[in-house]
Amino acid sequence: MMGSFTFETLPCRVVFGSGTLSAARAEIERLGGKRALVLTTPQQEAEGAKLGAALGPLYAGLFPGATMHTPVEVTERARAAMTACDADCVVALGGGSTTGLGKALALRTGVNQLCIPTTYAGSEMTPILGQTENGLKTTLRDIAVLPETVIYDVDLTLTLPVGLTVSSGINAIAHAAEALYARDGNPVTSLMAEEGIRALAHALPAIAATPDDREARTEALYGAWLCGVCLGTVGMALHHKLCHTLGGTFDLPHAETHTIVLPHALNYNRDAAPAAMARIARAVGADDAAQGLYDLAGRLNAKLALRDIGMPESGIDKAADLAVTNAYWNPRPLARDAIRDLIARAWAGERPM
Ligand code: NAD
């Protein structure tokens, strides 16, 4: 039986399709922007310059310095660049790292953001910002950081390398999986979650076989959008907290950490959230959610072990201690020994059990 719930839609305009990047100029005008600073990582600088040229008189400048974990020093440099070119809005072209920089600038200056995601991380749909200062990552939730407009252009994702496509896609699936058992979950977010997982689980194998398969890329980007909405709408639990701790403590790559930990976190929660697990399993076309996602990652040649992405074995106990230090809600209570076992299996790349 359906219980009571609260559902709040976040205000964001979405333009989705192939070739939609050409709408950037009109979308900036729609927001009242006159001088746009384009943000990218150093790796995507050329794409940023090309976009800038297409913006014509609205192009104020390019800041190609976005980097992982949104360090405040980088944000301060970008803010100085905004002042130097007299920008009144920002255009973030890239993955979660670039989106994070746009959000950090909006938080400090109140400027409007046009966000153009090129991975499946989903940050563009959330009022959440993680920032790093003196090596410490903190996360805040503030509606001021939610981008006003998002352009999803499938064409921009064709160049996403298969490895990052797979890990970023499973990172997106993780948002939807935890949304299905969220304490503040609701039937509408759950619909998006199940459809988001289905779309990504269906599209990723096709993309792994043919990276420029436009139809599969479209389905994956659509799935990533839905999963991002889930992350922005309801609270996350053990999986996201563990990944945050592991990533921050051992400086592990974001999307790959999610890909490795997800089957183990779901296995931990299996008996405490049977209805959610049934929906996740159905969406990935498996009998069991955790086993199905472990098998999917394996079939897609994703890395399955935390030891293969830089976590030392000596870190297992430290991570288990940290994971239970700050209590947070999870469908199954946090038990240190069981969490240590989960992390040890994920470290070794063993099948969840
Ligand atoms: P990323 O943004 O760091 O991108 C990884 C690399 O891939 C970069 O070098 C980037 O330039 C390159 N790249 C991106 N798109 C490409 C494309 N289409 N073709 C070729 N290269 C491309 O990685 P990410 O996984 O998207 O983002 C991770 C960051 O986002 C983390 O810092 C994480 O904390 C944050 N994040 C935040 C939220 C939130 O709601 N606040 C949600 C998800 C992720």
Q: Which residues pair with 71 in a beta bridge?
A: 132
Give the pLDDT mean for 16-44.
98
Confidence (pLDDT) at 326: 80
CA of 94 to the centre of ligand 1 (A): 7
Token duo for residue 249: 């403590």
One domain, residues 340 and 234: yes
Which ligand 1 atom is the nearest neighbour of the CA of 156?
A: 18
Confidence (pLDDT) at 327: 79
With the most atoms of ligand 1 within 8 angstroms of its CB, the residue from 39, 43, 236 to mutate is 43
Give the pLDDT mean for 157-171.
97
The structural domain count of the chain equals: 2
One domain, residues 103 and 231: no
CA of 71 to the centre of ligand 1 (A): 14
Confidence (pLDDT) at 165: 98
- Determine whether the shortest distance from the Cβ of 96 to ligand 1 is under 6 A: yes
Average pLDDT of every residue of the chain: 96
Give the pLDDT mean for 46-60.
98
Confidence (pLDDT) at 312: 97
Instruction: Give this complex's ipTM.
Output: 0.99
Output helix, strand, coil percentages for the chain, rounded to the nearest 5: 60, 10, 30
**pLDDT beyond 80 at 175:** yes
- Determine whether the shortest distance from the Cβ of 43 to ligand 1 is under 6 A: yes
What pTM was computed for the model?
0.97
**pLDDT beyond 80 at 1:** no
Q: For ligand 1, atom 19, name the residue with the nearest CA.
A: 160
One domain, residues 248 and 113: no
Q: For ligand 1, atom 36, name the residue with the nearest CA.
A: 96
pLDDT tens, 126-146? 999 999 988 778 899 999 999
| Strand, coil or helix: 80 | helix
Confidence (pLDDT) at 156: 98
- Phi, psi torsion values for 156, nearest 5 degrees: -70, -20
- Determine whether the shortest distance from the Cβ of 128 to ligand 1 is under 6 A: yes
Which ligand 1 atom is the nearest neighbour of the CA of 98?
A: 2
CA of 313 to the centre of ligand 1 (A): 27
Is the residue at 39 inside a domain?
A: yes
Distance CA 13, CA 47 (A): 23
Integer CA distances (angstroms), 70 to 58, 78, 96, 321, in order: 26, 11, 9, 26
Token duo for residue 97: 């790292």
Confidence (pLDDT) at 126: 98
pLDDT tens, 224-270? 999 999 999 999 999 999 999 999 889 999 999 999 999 999 999 99
Which ligand 1 atom is the nearest neighbour of the CA of 158?
A: 18
CATH number, domain at 207?
1.20.1090.10
One domain, residues 135 and 79: yes
pLDDT tens, 274-333? 999 999 999 999 999 999 999 999 999 999 999 999 999 999 999 999 989 887 899 999
CATH number, domain at 85?
3.40.50.1970
Distance CA 9, CA 230 (A): 10
Is the residue at 28 inside a domain?
A: yes
Residue 72: count of CB within 10 angstroms of its CB:
14
Residue 137 parent element (H or E): strand 136-141
One domain, residues 87 and 30: yes
Confidence (pLDDT) at 5: 92
Confidence (pLDDT) at 229: 98
pLDDT band at 179 (very low <50, low <70, confident <90, very high): very high
Among 61, 236, 24, 5, residue whose Cα is nearest residue 149: 24
Which ligand 1 atom is the nearest neighbour of the CA of 125?
A: 40
Is the residue at 1 inside a domain?
A: no
Is the residue at 221 inside a domain?
A: yes
With the most atoms of ligand 1 within 8 angstroms of its CB, the residue from 214, 254, 256 to mutate is 254
CA of 336 to the centre of ligand 1 (A): 31
Burial class (CB in 10 A: 0-12, 13-18, 19+), 22: exposed
Which ligand 1 atom is the nearest neighbour of the CA of 247?
A: 34
Whether the Cβ atoms of residue 10 and residue 60 lie closer than 8 Å to each other: no
One domain, residues 86 and 173: no
Show the domain range for 342: 162-348
pLDDT band at 26 (very low <50, low <70, confident <90, very high): very high
Give the pLDDT mean for 109-121.
98
- Determine whether the shortest distance from the Cβ of 229 to ligand 1 is under 6 A: no
| H-assigned helices in 181-213 | 187-209
Confidence (pLDDT) at 135: 73
- Determine whether the shortest distance from the Cβ of 147 to ligand 1 is under 6 A: no
For the chain, what is the total number of helices (H) and then of strands (E)?
14, 8
One domain, residues 114 and 131: yes
Burial class (CB in 10 A: 0-12, 13-18, 19+), 297: buried
Distance CA 52, CA 54 (A): 5
Give the pLDDT mean for 43-59.
98
Q: For ligand 1, atom 5, name the residue with the nearest CA.
A: 95
One domain, residues 221 and 259: yes
**pLDDT beyond 90 at 2:** no
- Determine whether the shortest distance from the Cβ of 227 to ligand 1 is under 6 A: no
- Determine whether the shortest distance from the Cβ of 160 to ligand 1 is under 6 A: yes
- Determine whether the shortest distance from the Cβ of 122 to ligand 1 is under 6 A: yes
Which of 132, 157, 182 is the endpoint of a domain? 157
One domain, residues 176 and 246: yes
Which ligand 1 atom is the nearest neighbour of the CA of 164?
A: 7
CA of 275 to the centre of ligand 1 (A): 31
Q: How far apart are the first and last CA of the chain?
A: 30
